Amino acid sequence: MEKQKKIEAEKAEKAAKKAKEAEGKEKKPKEEEILDPTAYFENRSKMITELKKNPNTYPYPHKFHVQLTVHQFINKYAPLTQKQWLEENVSIAGRVTNIRQQGKKLVFYDIRQEGERLQVMCS
């Protein structure tokens, strides 16, 4: 009986501690919960307008310089083995069809263009 009373007292103490911590912390609602769709649209429009003022931060670039197509990239770098890394910067264009995160820093992108698929690993 004493053991059970002691366990119940510990549980009650833990519950009281949690309740006290919960009261001490203000639960801030997420920003998405606060904003209605019109307010979100207005905030987004203001942000885009600010970005458009500076040519270096223009959100919708007129052109994107593409060095290689996905097909050309695959043909050029096919001789690389799995343990080799491409250290140079290459710009390609295509549709990102899948994004997979593996941990905090590792991300895989699937890029498709003209029936070809390319997987890019970014860290």
Residue 9, domain extent: 2-57
Residue 64 lies in a domain: no
Distance of CA 74 to CAs 37, 87, 95, 97, 107, Å?
43, 16, 16, 17, 20
> How many domains is the chain partitioned into structurally?
2
30 and 75 both lie in a single domain: no
Does 42 share its domain with 78? no
Residues 113 and 79 grouped into a single domain: yes
User: Residue 106: its pLDDT value, please?
Assistant: 94
What pLDDT, in 10s, does the model give residues 50-82?
A: 988 888 888 877 777 889 989 999 898 888 887
Tell me the percentage of the chain whose pLDDT exceeds 70: 87
Average pLDDT rounded to a whole number, residues 18-44: 69
Task: Determine the length of the chain.
Answer: 123
For residues 51 and 74, membership in a common domain is answered with: no
pLDDT at 40 over 80: yes
Mean pLDDT over the full length of the chain: 82
User: Does residue 52 sit in the same domain as residue 87?
Assistant: no
For residue 117, give the nearest of 73, 87, 81 by alpha carbon: 73
Put simply, whether the predicted model's pTM sits higher than 0.85 gets the answer no
